[in-house]
Amino acid sequence: MIVVALTGLMVAGCWDRKEIEDRSTVIALGIDRAESQPLRVVAFVVVPRRPEGGSSGRSSRLVTASASTFAAALDQVQREVKGPLALGQIRLILLGRRLGATELGLAVRGLGRYPSIRLDALVAAVDAELEEVFSLSPGEEELLPLHAAKLLASEISLGNVPQSSLGKFIADHLDVGIAPVVPRFVVKDGSLGVDGMVVYPLQGAPTTLSTEQTKAYLLATGQRARVITFMTGGNGTVAKLVKNNSRINVSKHENGYLTAQVACHVEADLVEGELLSEEDGARQLEDQIREVIKSAQAAGADIIGLGRYALPLFPSRDKAEANSLFSSARVEVRVNYIWRRKGS
């Protein structure tokens, strides 16, 4: 009878469960380079408090660890908290400003080894210290990581910055011929905002693109941008994007280098300012896209994925050389611009 009773408990699956009050739930991670170790991990940990006197709540703390690997850093964090770490609720992953290509590779490989970390967690770069960002107070008793995740999701849905999930970031980092990009958080006057994006090349330091450059990148890659700004006689003309798409064609020149054509189709409504011709609008967008591509080529960061199309044309090249193909490519940009509405 005793054996039967014990078997029943094991089948129920509750004999080794951990109550939520006994877990240390991580809702955000920050990853940067440490002074003496390749990685520094900052974990934003939330621990629900047991009810006392009829009330309950939650407390949060930052736990910082430095180690040679992502797993070793998490082990250090585990030793600093009570109860097992719960990683399934991570909503936000911040990349520090000192993170280089080598450290980023360690972080990506480490994150990929934890299936409990959700692939839809948002990823962003920061221009401030991780602890400073996590210590900001968004008001209304909302935890900073939750506020930041909502802010970032809103900017993505509005088309101001590119998509930025952990799954996409890992895939782009491991894929051939494209450099991962993420939105950038900035801290100004004690508040958190989103401004432009950061590109992470396969080798070398990350590169920052401004808000306007980010919009040009979105157009070049066929992603939706909310508004476009033109210059007309010293004044700004603001257009709301209605429809856009892009197409990339690559070929191998007889002299051995890569040539590419980026063709964009853009349709927009006039929001404010002076109406400019469709030819002038196309010309300005072409200049903006060329500027972004040249900046990315100088940084060795293939942000438009030319390497994906180019490698079959260069069978002697390996995956690590995809960025060199992009950096030396002759890129032609053509934009077809159409006004859908020209004001009231």
pLDDT tens string 176-198: 678 899 999 999 988 999 999 99
Per-residue pLDDT at 54: 46
**pLDDT tens digits, 268-285:** 999 888 888 999 999 999
Q: Residue 117 pLDDT more than 90?
A: yes
Helix 211-220 and helix 278-299: axis angle, to 10°? 100
Q: Residue 253 pLDDT more than 70?
A: yes
User: Around Cβ 252, how many Cβ atoms within 10 Å?
Assistant: 14
Is 9 among the domain residues? no
Per-residue pLDDT at 48: 67
Per-residue pLDDT at 226: 78
What is the rounded distance in angstroms from the CA atom of residue 220 to the CA atom of residue 303?
10
Per-residue pLDDT at 342: 79
Does 156 lie in the same domain as 78?
yes
Q: Residue 58 pLDDT more than 70?
A: no
Domain hosting residue 123, numbered range: 17-209
Q: Residue 156 pLDDT more than 50?
A: yes
Does 228 lie in the same domain as 217?
yes
Kindly report the CATH number assigned to the domain that includes residue 293.
3.30.300.210
Per-residue pLDDT at 14: 47
Does 151 lie in the same domain as 53?
yes
209, 242, 272 - which closes a domain: 209
209, 243, 278 - which closes a domain: 209
Does 97 lie in the same domain as 204?
yes
Is 162 among the domain residues? yes
User: Around Cβ 298, how many Cβ atoms within 10 Å?
Assistant: 10
Is 107 among the domain residues? yes
Residues 306-322: what's their mean pLDDT?
71
Does 191 lie in the same domain as 123?
yes
Per-residue pLDDT at 336: 96
Is 228 among the domain residues? yes
Per-residue pLDDT at 264: 95
Average pLDDT, the chain: 85
Does 199 lie in the same domain as 271?
no
Q: Residue 17 pLDDT more than 90?
A: no
**pLDDT tens digits, 72-104:** 999 999 999 988 999 999 999 999 999 988 999
Higher-pLDDT residue of 288, 54: 288
Give residue 15's pLDDT band: very low, low, confident or very high (50, 70, 90).
very low
Number of domains in the chain: 2
Higher-pLDDT residue of 321, 151: 151
Q: Residue 233 pLDDT more than 60?
A: no
Is 4 among the domain residues? no
Does 222 lie in the same domain as 202?
no
Does 123 lie in the same domain as 187?
yes
209, 229, 260 - which closes a domain: 209
Per-residue pLDDT at 344: 58
Per-residue pLDDT at 55: 47
Confirm if 272 and 227 have CB atoms less than 8 A apart.
no
Helix 101-112 and helix 166-174: axis angle, to 10°? 120
